[in-house]
């Protein structure tokens, strides 16, 4: 009755369907980038620079005559990779800190919340700047530094959710049943926070892509000739009056991906909630 119902709920949820379709197209494009892209992402042809979007070049070409369509297609790989990496780090740190602080409370909560607030106060761009200036620009460093400053939001939400769940009678019942603290956290509290964690993941993912792209835009992350969407955007800025399509298309690609994830997340939350 229930599994079938979950599928049914998914099939009826317009937001989820739309989001999934958007996400799947990005995923497919990323996986089959070599097949779909008509050119290599770093294939230059100076004679064909600044060709506007048209039949020959779907999205036009940039100042080196590189096919923008191909670059954006290859860029989807980078976008997905950094997005997933940032979110994976940030969710695992955030959820663990939130669960521990919320469940045990007291001194541990005070210490963890202090660290959380401290991190929260750190401007991500400045921290990334610092890390990258010391270690040199690279995409991985940007990913790690973005993740390291973006977990507090997740930790706070999980903490407050944990605090409300740990006082629910079923947790008390679990304790009366003889469950240990660890199994109460893992089996009783974590699954009940999963709803917000999933939504957070899908909401943070576009944010993560955007902020790493932002750092690439500033020249801290990916280096040319990488087809990173942020990098393409920033390269296009110099020619924005002459060839606006260079900046417009990577921007649209970003929006497409971000909207897809958001819709999927909202839909997933509705579907996974056994009470709706």
Residues engaged in binding another protein (CB under 8 A): 1-2, 167-170, 172-180, 187-188, 191-192, 194, 274-275
Q: What are phi and psi of 169, to 5 degrees?
A: -55, -30
Nearest distance from C-beta of residue 174 to another protein, angstroms: 7
* Contact status, residue 98 vs residue 157, Cβ threshold 8 Å: yes
Q: Which is nearer to another protein, 89 or 158 (CB)?
A: 158
Q: Which is nearer to another protein, 32 or 170 (CB)?
A: 170
Nearest distance from C-beta of residue 157 to another protein, angstroms: 18
Q: Which is nearer to another protein, 34 or 172 (CB)?
A: 172
Q: Which is nearer to another protein, 140 or 172 (CB)?
A: 172
Lookup: tokens for 29: 């494009």
Q: Which is nearer to another protein, 89 or 190 (CB)?
A: 190
CB burial class (10 A; 0-12, 13-18, 19+) of residue 176? exposed
How many beta carbons lie within 10 A of that of residue 88, not counting itself?
A: 14
Nearest distance from C-beta of residue 197 to another protein, angstroms: 13
Q: Which is nearer to another protein, 180 or 238 (CB)?
A: 180
- Give the total residue count for the chain: 276
Q: Is the peptide bond before 225 cis (omega within 30 degrees of 0)?
A: yes
Nearest distance from C-beta of residue 4 to another protein, angstroms: 11
* Cα–Cα distance measured from residue 199 to residue 205, given in angstroms and rounded to the nearest whole number: 10
Nearest distance from C-beta of residue 262 to another protein, angstroms: 24
What's the CA angle centered on 78, arms 72 and 83, to 5 degrees? 120
Is the Cα dihedral 148, 130, 254, 34 positive or negative?
Answer: negative
* Contact status, residue 70 vs residue 39, Cβ threshold 8 Å: yes
Nearest distance from C-beta of residue 173 to another protein, angstroms: 5
């Amino acid at each position: 009755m229930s599994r079938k119902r979950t599928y049914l709920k998914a099939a009826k949820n317009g937001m989820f369907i739309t989001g999934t379709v958007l996400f799947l197209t990005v995923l497919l494009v990323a996986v089959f980038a070599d097949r779909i892209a008509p050119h290599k992402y770093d294939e230059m042809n100076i004679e064909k620079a600044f060709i506007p979007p048209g039949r020959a070049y779907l999205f036009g070409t940039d100042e080196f005559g590189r096919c923008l369509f191909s670059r954006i297609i290859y860029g989807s790989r980078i976008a997905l990779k950094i997005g997933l990496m940032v979110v994976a780090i940030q969710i695992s740190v955030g959820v663990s800190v939130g669960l521990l602080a919320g469940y045990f409370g007291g001194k541990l909560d005070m210490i963890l919340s202090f660290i959380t607030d401290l991190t929260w106060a750190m401007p991500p761009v400045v921290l990334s700047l610092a890390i990258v200036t010391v270690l040199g620009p690279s995409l991985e460093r940007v990913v790690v530094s973005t993740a390291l400053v973006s977990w507090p939001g997740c930790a706070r939400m999980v903490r407050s959710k944990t605090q409300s769940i740990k006082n629910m009678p079923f947790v008390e019942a679990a304790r009366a049943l003889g469950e240990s603290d660890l199994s109460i956290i893992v089996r009783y509290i974590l699954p009940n926070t999963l709803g917000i964690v999933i939504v957070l993941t899908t909401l943070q993912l576009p944010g993560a892509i955007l902020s790493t792209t932002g750092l690439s835009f500033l020249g801290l992350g990916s280096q040319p000739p990488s087809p990173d969407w942020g990098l393409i955007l920033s390269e296009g800025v110099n020619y924005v009056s002459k060839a606006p399509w260079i900046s417009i298309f990577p921007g649209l690609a970003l929006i497409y991906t971000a909207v897809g994830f958001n819709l999927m997340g909202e839909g997933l939350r509705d579907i996974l909630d056994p009470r709706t």
